[in-house]
Structure 1
């Protein structure tokens, strides 16, 4: 599908990667862009429609789907990441549950709520922001890695479930991205503008998966060859 004349809904659109998705959707000629945020007052980008949305709030998700019944492209960008003391330390289970609520169940809730509209509007597309750690664990954010692995599996399952209604489902994998989330990290980072450009190019090309940086492509290639990499240079999106 083409971004031009599309109706786009972006979760977590008030800053970082979500904001860049909204900006580039407008620049590519989207007919309408809904910008989901827990605080709509923080959505200041001219030309978008702010929508109050916490993906963990079933009532807000339902209200957003009702408002945006004309959507043709859903971008599940909202997510959380917390530093961890490790999976064997106290608090790991609680942190994992918290992260799963947004990174997995939030994605599922949005998908279930918006899939009927996508089907009604010709199929459209759904893009899930995943990570390099969808495929490999991380020592400092292992709970996040687990949730992204689960979200990758969810993405693959949803692709099969929505194929009959002609909905394209895209998984976006990336390492470190230069946003507020990684501001304190001394590591090589991708520019949000480049990540989003590649994501939209993949949607327009009809692709089902895109890896936007060399580290992520190397990990995916290694896995396809049966090579398990313990810790990549870039660990999170």
Structure 2
């Protein structure tokens, strides 16, 4: 089974990404119902659905698009996330909802109605670290963070409308664990010449998943990676 990745897109080419203009004192986080959330006023865009607003037909289509997805950020250091969105559950989340949550994490935004609620977005340690770096970077540059540097790549299993979570997780695991140096290769596609150790890995773990027969990954440069 082949997993085919499309060309990277700039997320802000297909979505309006409103800045969170609220003040964030000392870049702190607090424990809330459902996990950790930034200790700041509710984001100026308020809700998850308004964190990314589709502006193109492609952007709208991502609500019902499933597969393995990767996000690359450029500032203030390269940062990388790989995740999955399968469509074999009762009410599956498409990639649009997933990347909306990642946008909220990247900008360190609090979307809960109160400080004791996360608003449906938990902020893990890796994202906390990255969001603090970004917040300082954009503050020092006297501008708001609209995630203009964020790029998205989507991979789907070929010749199949069904994108089962366990099979997607197998491919995600290969990338996360850098099997056969696949993640290193992907880093070079995003950031030519980058040192692997300088990239912040935002994914905190992965499931082994279920291997397909003769699994292969084809990246957007048409390189073939067999497992």
TM-score over 0.5 for the pair:
no
More strand by share: 2
Give TM-score scaled by structure 1 length.
Answer: 0.28
More helix by share: 1
Q: Which has the higher contact order (CA 8 A, sep 6+)?
A: 2
